[in-house]
């Protein structure tokens, strides 16, 4: 494999994850988790989203969370926005990066943000202006980029034309999102290979959901195609309230462990991250899908069984 020496992880658990928890995660706990994640060396955190509080009531405290987190120097604190109003709120709240949301499929876009793709693109123009005025980078996210739970396959050509529109609006980067875990590694590789070759100056990133157990494989495929930024969620929290069957993101500590085992650096302290995952599990009050908190790292060793020990000693 041709492995990079380093990739960067954007933690999305406090946004993608907390938005879909059965219970509202108290503001205090959200702030705590963001601060704990930053202290682990996570370089980018999608803290929350500035959407309609009726659409996503669990993130209605976006302003307060942004105001009360401890801003660690060097950490990028981002937020998701669907329109100009969200962008203005995010800028006002002091985000470092504006991440937009629009779907590659018409029906998911309508379900998610109540707009056609054309209307969303028009809104994105306004978002780009708000971000530019505030001198903040805009990262354009494309949901259902690899398949839609309502419409099925998304042709690469339509993805390509969307990317073109977003690049024209001045997006610094494009985040392709596999909202309901429909992507496979070959598809992910082909998409990034083609798109990144056409727009080499855009920052490319991948947002995966592990709905069908392909998330880490998809990350590796994207890495092979040159992608160096990946979204992940502590403990494997996550899901889209507007996509049936959506489950958690690729689990941050599982992904970081996989990368570190391969010699790919992330700048994250994995042991501390595992402690955060246990803390998040306690906060949400139910088991999280991540594997590492149950299995331990690969360097975990078990005691040699007595009978085996005797055989070994007798040799």
The dihedral formed by the CA atoms of 145, 148, 153 and 154, expressed in degrees to the nearest 10: -30
51 binds ligand COA, rule: CB under 6 A = yes
**Which range touches ligand COA (CB under 6 A), out of 180-188, 209-217, 238-246, 289-297?**
238-246
**Which range touches ligand COA (CB under 6 A), out of 82-90, 126-134, 206-214, 252-260?**
82-90
CA dist 11 and 69 (Å) reads 15
Which x/- pattern, by CB under 6 A, does the window 99-118 give for ligand COA? --x----------xxx----
Residue 96 sits at φ, ψ, to 5 deg, of -90, -20
Q: Closest CB to Zn ion among 41 and 181?
A: 181
The interface partner of residue 49, options being Zn ion, ligand COA, none and the CB cut-off 5 to 8 Å by kind, is ligand COA
Window 120-159: residues binding ligand COA (CB under 6 A)? 143
Q: What is the CA radius of gyration of the chain?
A: 20
Tokens describing residue 55? 């659409």
Give how far the C-alpha of residue 289 lies from the chain's centroid of Cα atoms, to the nearest Å: 16
Q: Which of 11, 13, 16, 196 binds Zn ion (CB under 5 A)?
A: 16
Active site residue 240: yes
Euclidean distance between the first and the last CA atom of the chain, given in angstroms as a whole number: 40
The H or E element that residue 230 is part of is strand 229-232
Give how far the C-alpha of residue 216 lies from the chain's centroid of Cα atoms, to the nearest Å: 13
Contacts (Cβ under 8 Å, ≥6 apart) of 167: 174, 199, 202
The closest of 63, 70, 136 to 97, measured between CA atoms, is 136
Catalytic member of 10, 40, 148, 240: 240
DSSP classification of residue 179: T
Q: Closest CB to Zn ion among 176 and 221?
A: 176
Closest separation between CB of residue 116 and ligand COA, Å?
11
32 binds Zn ion, rule: CB under 5 A = no
**Which range touches Zn ion (CB under 5 A), out of 16-24, 95-103, 148-156, 210-218?**
16-24
Q: Which of 85, 172, 194, 278 binds ligand COA (CB under 6 A)?
A: 85
Q: Which of 77, 189, 230, 242 binds ligand COA (CB under 6 A)?
A: 242
Closest separation between CB of residue 179 and ligand COA, Å?
7
**Which range touches ligand COA (CB under 6 A), out of 51-59, 166-174, 217-225, 261-269?**
51-59
Q: Which of 7, 34, 38, 56 binds ligand COA (CB under 6 A)?
A: 56
Using the structure block, give the residue that is written with the tokens 């590694």. Answer: 185
CA dist 61 and 23 (Å) reads 14
Neighbours of 226 (CB within 10 A): 15
178 binds Zn ion, rule: CB under 5 A = no
Distances, alpha carbon 202 to alpha carbons 137, 143, 173, in Å: 12, 17, 5
Query: What is the binding site for ligand COA (CB under 6 A)?
Result: 49-52, 55-56, 82-83, 85-86, 89, 101, 112-114, 143, 240-242
Q: Catalytic positions, please? A: 240
Query: What is the binding site for Zn ion (CB under 5 A)?
Result: 16
């Amino acid at each position: 494999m041709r492995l990079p020496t380093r990739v960067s992880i954007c933690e999305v658990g406090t946004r993608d994850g907390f938005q879909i928890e059965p219970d509202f995660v108290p503001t205090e706990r959200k702030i705590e988790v963001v601060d704990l994640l930053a202290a682990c060396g996570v370089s980018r955190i999608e803290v929350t989203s500035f959407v309609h509080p009726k659409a996503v009531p669990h993130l209605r405290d976006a302003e307060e969370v942004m105001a009360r987190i401890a801003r660690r120097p060097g950490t990028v604190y981002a937020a998701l926005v669907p329109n100009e109003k969200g962008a203005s709120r995010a800028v006002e709240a002091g985000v470092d990066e504006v991440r937009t949301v629009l779907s590659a499929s018409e029906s998911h876009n309508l379900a998610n943000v109540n707009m056609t793709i054309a209307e969303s693109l028009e809104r994105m123009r306004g978002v780009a202006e708000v971000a530019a005025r505030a001198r903040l980078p805009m990262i354009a996210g494309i949901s259902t980029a690899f398949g839609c739970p309502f419409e099925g396959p998304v042709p690469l050509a339509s993805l390509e034309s969307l990317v073109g529109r977003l690049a024209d609006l001045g997006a610094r980067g494009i985040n392709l999102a596999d909202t309901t875990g429909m992507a496979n590694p070959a598809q992910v590789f082909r998409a990034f290979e083609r798109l990144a070759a056409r727009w080499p100056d855009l920052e490319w990133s991948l947002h995966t959901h592990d709905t069908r157990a392909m998330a880490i494989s998809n990350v590796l495929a994207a890495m092979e195609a040159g992608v160096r930024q990946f979204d992940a969620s502590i403990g494997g929290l996550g899901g889209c309230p507007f996509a049936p069957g959506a489950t958690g993101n690729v689990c941050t500590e599982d992904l970081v462990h996989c990368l570190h085992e391969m010699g790919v650096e992330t700048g994250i302290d994995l042991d501390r991250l595992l402690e955060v995952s246990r803390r998040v599990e306690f906060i949400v009050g139910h088991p999280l899908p991540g594997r590492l908190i149950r299995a331990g790292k690969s360097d975990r060793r078990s005691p040699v069984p007595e009978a085996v020990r005797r055989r070994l000693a007798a040799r």
